[in-house]
Amino acid sequence: MPNVKRGLRPSIARKGVDPFVAVVGSANLDIVLAVSRRPVAGETIMGQGLQETAGGKGLNQALSAVRVASTTFIGSVGRDHAAQQIEEALDSAGVDVTYLVRHDMATGRAYIQVTPDGENSIIVLALANSAMSPTETLAALDKANPTLVLTQFEVPRDVTVAVAQWCRQTGVRLVLNPSPVQPIDIDAISNADPLIVNQVEAQTILGVDSNDDQYLALQLADRFESIVLTAGSNGAFVISGGEIVHISGEQVKVVDTTGAGDAFAGTLAAHLAHGTKLVDSAMLANREAARIIQLTREAR
């Protein structure tokens, strides 16, 4: 049977706190392998380093959001050492863990290869993340009463849809990062304000092959409340109220891109919860993502 972990900071999640972000998302143990290059099919190569850290898109977003606004994490872990690492990482950063649920199964895992140029490739096993249910999640949101909800696609699809519907019914702002991208009924999540995507995610959602970021952002803007399309070193495109703004990228030395998109989403959501305008929030998020990729995971 699942049980809810009672956090050490329940006052963070009390009703009436403003601003207050609820992150509904995944929590994994990240197994990070430093490699000289990615192996090709049938090849074995020697790794150059190994690190285990708390991760997952939801957890990473929460750790970034809490730097700016009070944050609670709604998610699912197992009953193993990985769950303990995740709980400690969240709690020590000041994220409320009242709604972190434990299930009798293994905590999610992510296997990450990082090359010397800082680029990564990732394989995720959902495991306990797949045990999240709409019923538990919506009950947590009702109790938490957040100003804003941030979620992504590393949780079951029915949970994402239920969260979007809850936000629509309650009038709570929804920030959605549809990653890892998967087929979904756009109408079910059209209240995302904003939808945060990269080029590949935008192409998949739209079913087009265009590499024109501005075109992709404009096409998505017809279906969602607002759009933020991140473009790596080229910055981001923001569309809101019919206006499109390009935010220039930060020119930095890349050490590790892992978690950059999550840092962007978490930071943006937290500033929006404070009432900051979308373009200004995206600028601040872009700056935080640039800071993150210049650092090793230990230094963050």
Q: Would you list the domain boundaries of the chain?
A: 3-293
Query: How would DSSP label each residue in 34-50?
Result: E-SSPPPTT-----SEE
Residue (of 175, 155, 181) closest to 224 by Cα position: 175
Q: Which comes out higher in pLDDT, residue 233 or 177? A: 177
Q: Which residues pair with 70 in a beta bridge?
A: 20
Catalytic: 262?
Answer: yes
- Can you give the pLDDT at residue 262? 95
- Can you give the pLDDT at residue 113? 94
For the stretch 223-248, pLDDT in tens is 999 999 999 888 999 999 989 999 99
State the catalytic residue, choosing from 30, 193, 256, 262: 262
The Cα 179–Cα 42 span in angstroms is: 28
Amino acid making up residue 267: T
Alpha helices per DSSP H over 94-189: 134-144, 157-170
Residue (of 21, 294, 264, 253) closest to 141 by Cα position: 21
Q: How far is CA 169 from CA 149, 219, 241, 270, 288, in A?
A: 13, 26, 22, 21, 32
- For 203, the 3-state DSSP assignment is helix
- Can you give the pLDDT at residue 15? 44
The answer, yes or no, to whether residue 256 has pLDDT greater than 90, is no
Give the residue carrying structure tokens 């978490």.
Answer: 266
Q: What percent of the chain has pLDDT over 90?
A: 83
Give the residue carrying structure tokens 């963050």.
Answer: 300
Strand runs labelled E in the chain: 3-5, 20-24, 28-34, 49-55, 70-77, 100-102, 108-114, 120-125, 148-152, 173-177, 192-197, 226-230, 236-240, 243-247
Two structure tokens written together for 188: 């079910």
For the stretch 114-172, pLDDT in tens is 999 888 888 999 999 999 999 999 999 999 999 999 999 999 999 999 999 999 999 99
For the stretch 10-31, pLDDT in tens is 333 434 446 799 999 999 999 9
- Can you give the pLDDT at residue 39? 92
- Can you give the pLDDT at residue 297? 75
Q: Which residues pair with 245 in a beta bridge?
A: 238
The answer, yes or no, to whether residue 100 has pLDDT greater than 70, is yes
CATH classification number, 3-293, choose in 3.40.50.460, 1.10.3720.10, 1.20.5.50, 3.40.1190.20: 3.40.1190.20
The answer, yes or no, to whether residue 197 has pLDDT greater than 60, is yes
The Cα 60–Cα 144 span in angstroms is: 20
- Can you give the pLDDT at residue 172? 98
State the pTM of this model. Answer: 0.89
Whether the upstream peptide bond of residue 180 has omega within 30° of 0, thus cis, is yes
